[in-house]
Chain A
């Protein structure tokens, strides 16, 4: 069974540009969450998508957005990139078959974004 796949693995962008990251969850998993990981802040929750709808959102500016497709694949977009957006962006997928108890999440290898 394939794991969570994130593309691309590495990106270098210039301030002011925008970027789109992709995540394909484990087959059968319908929940996809996105996280930003930096040395100073650790893993910070961005948002979660389930059934093509954003269900949860973290405390990030509106420059960070996402979407989910009918096959559960998800994309995250960051517009008007800032130097501080340099981070490892991780996607996690969950089965989400128990609405009142969060089941385990499995991470992809991440996309390392560098903004110069």
Chain B
């Protein structure tokens, strides 16, 4: 079992819809959770981070964390074609070693 698992996609959503990206992790000691966006040929860009159970909203993005079920999700409201990218989930158990999933490719259709 991989430490951090994501569906590779592609996840296709129409412009204006909500995109829902999911991530599960295996280490119950994980304390920090991050979502990065990576455009083709570019480096990962931090979108959101969350430490506590529940929801955290930032603009069109909402991160959701459920430690009991060991999953973290990212919702993108009013999806735009410019949101088309690979979204990486990263998890850390307080050691500054970040474990990344292999990413979900999102395609927003105009």
Contact = CB atoms under 8 A, between A and B. Distances in A.
Interface of A: 31, 33, 35, 42-43, 45, 48, 50, 55-56, 58, 88, 90, 92, 94, 96, 99-110
Nearest to A40: B102
A45 B99 contact: yes
Contact of B96 (A55, A90, A109, A110): A55
B45 interface: yes
B96 A96 contact: yes
B80 interface: no
18 contacts: A33-B96, A42-B100, A43-B44, A48-B96, A48-B97, A50-B96, A55-B96, A92-B98, A94-B96, A102-B32, A102-B94, A102-B97, A102-B98, A103-B49, A105-B90, A106-B46, A107-B46, A109-B42
Interface residues of B, number: 25
Given A48-B96, A101-B31, A107-B43, 16 more contacts: A31-B96, A45-B99, A45-B100, A50-B96, A56-B97, A94-B96, A96-B96, A100-B31, A101-B32, A101-B51, A102-B92, A102-B97, A103-B49, A104-B34, A105-B90, A107-B36
Among all A-B residue pairs, the 10 with the closest Cβ atoms: A102-B92, A43-B100, A42-B102, A102-B32, A56-B97, A107-B43, A104-B49, A102-B96, A110-B43, A100-B94
B96 A43 contact: no
A56 to B, nearest CB: 4
Nearest to A104: B49
A102 B90 CA distance: 11
Given A42-B103, A43-B88, A100-B31, A105 B43 contact: no
